[in-house]
Amino acid sequence: EALREASDILGIDALLSDHERATRDRVRAFVDDEIRPHIAGWFDRAHFPVELARGFGELGVLGMTLKGYGCPGRSNVEYGLAALELEAGDSGLRTFVSVQGSLAMGSIHRWGSEEQKQEWLPRMATGEVIGAFGLTEPTAGSDPSSMTTSARRDGDDWILTGAKRWIGLATIAQLVVVWARTDDGVRGFIVPTDAPGFEASVLEPKGSMRASIQTELHFDDVRLPASALLPGASGLRGPFSALNEARYGIVWGALGAGRDSYEVALRHALRRQQFGVPLASFQLTQQKLVNMVVELQKGALLALQIGRAKDAGTLTPPQVSLGKLNNVREAIAIAREARTILGGDGVLLENSPIRHAANLESVRTYEGTDEVHTLILGQHLTGIGAFR
């Protein structure tokens, strides 16, 4: 705790309210008790602990900022602090919370009918029902506008055909919010995973986010009732609005992976003796540690500014892009540098930095790659879209 206080050189803790600190400490304790002791084994065995879904529900981090329908209704800064603590445990487990809360629940809360919200959200907030979000396709990643999955009318029903790829959780989910092309543009559908013609398979083996499930989906003429359509969403604004929410969580979450890597490296550097003195007494080691803390402190200020703007309702997509681009990029650099301080022991999974570094390769790629966020910012600065 004293080492952690020393690393808050700018006094960023004091910018948080007592309530925000209490929320953060509650999630931190959950991560220490329920995730930290097991995560290396889960990662090694590529195991996602599905029983944690109920624990996350009790902790109040599923659909954390959503109001009503049994959802926690907390502030965006509290959600950000929770994401940071969860990702200090593991990016794959924070991803579960993002997919369930920001993407699946967020889409239903924002675009769903009253009946859809009442049917699904209360049970998703407790973790009883798991939801996934299907936007990316085998041939449509950074460019969702080229999606080929389609839904056509058959009487009052819809018939869904196509495929999705890199979809979190779908093999353990009860529903997937699927975005598909229709005569009326891109629309969203709540697809039950037991519907005939729906198939989900796990993408494995992965070298990143191994304690998490990513899947490929196939829809072979899946018949859906009219009530499956999300009535409020029309066009790509529907899925992109959900992506804003998940990207926001990553702005904070990446800092958790970075902080955990730094703390492991610092403890090792203070303990490990070489040439008769602790590693921490070498100038090169101190420089590495200092550079990590400089970036963690800058990243925390950035996340807090973005979080306060989100709570004030003024947050813009370029601001989220700036935060995601910077904080994930710096977190990977920190995790890799932390690994070097650990020397050979740094490649063992009992030390977290190499796991965080591997996980963050996924985080820099999903929810908009570094390149996409750079070009969103480039468009903001120049007024010229350079995507194609």
What sign results for the dihedral spanned by CA atoms 250, 255, 261, 267? negative
Piece of 10-18, 22-30, 68-76, 137-145 that binds ligand TGC (CB under 6 A): 137-145
Piece of 69-77, 160-168, 254-262, 298-306 that binds ligand TGC (CB under 6 A): 160-168
Q: Does 245 contact ligand TGC by CB under 6 A?
A: no
Closest CB to ligand TGC: residue number: 168
CA atoms lying within 13 Å on the CB side of residue 228? 25
Q: Does 387 contact ligand TGC by CB under 6 A?
A: yes
Query: Catalytic residue at 367?
Result: yes
Q: Does 136 contact ligand TGC by CB under 6 A?
A: yes
Task: Please identify which residue in the block is written with the tokens 């813009």.
Answer: 316
Residues 298-317 that bind ligand TGC (CB under 6 A): 317
Give 297 or 365: the residue with its C-beta nearer to ligand TGC.
Answer: 365
Q: Which of 145, 201, 274, 286: binder of ligand TGC (CB under 6 A)?
A: 145
Q: Does 232 contact ligand TGC by CB under 6 A?
A: no
Q: How far, in whole angstroms, is CA 283 from its chain's centroid?
A: 36
Which pairs with CB-CB distance under 8 Å and at least 24 residues apart come from 4-9? 4/263, 7/262, 7/266, 7/293, 7/296, 7/297, 8/297, 9/293, 9/297
Task: Compute the least distance from the CB of residue 259 to ligand TGC, in Å.
Answer: 23
Rg (CA), the chain: 21
Are the CB atoms for 323 and 303 separated by under 8 Å? yes
Q: Does 166 contact ligand TGC by CB under 6 A?
A: yes
- Active-site positions? 367
Residues that bind ligand TGC (CB under 6 A): 95, 99, 103, 133, 135-136, 142-145, 166-168, 235-237, 240-241, 243-244, 317, 366-368, 372, 376, 387
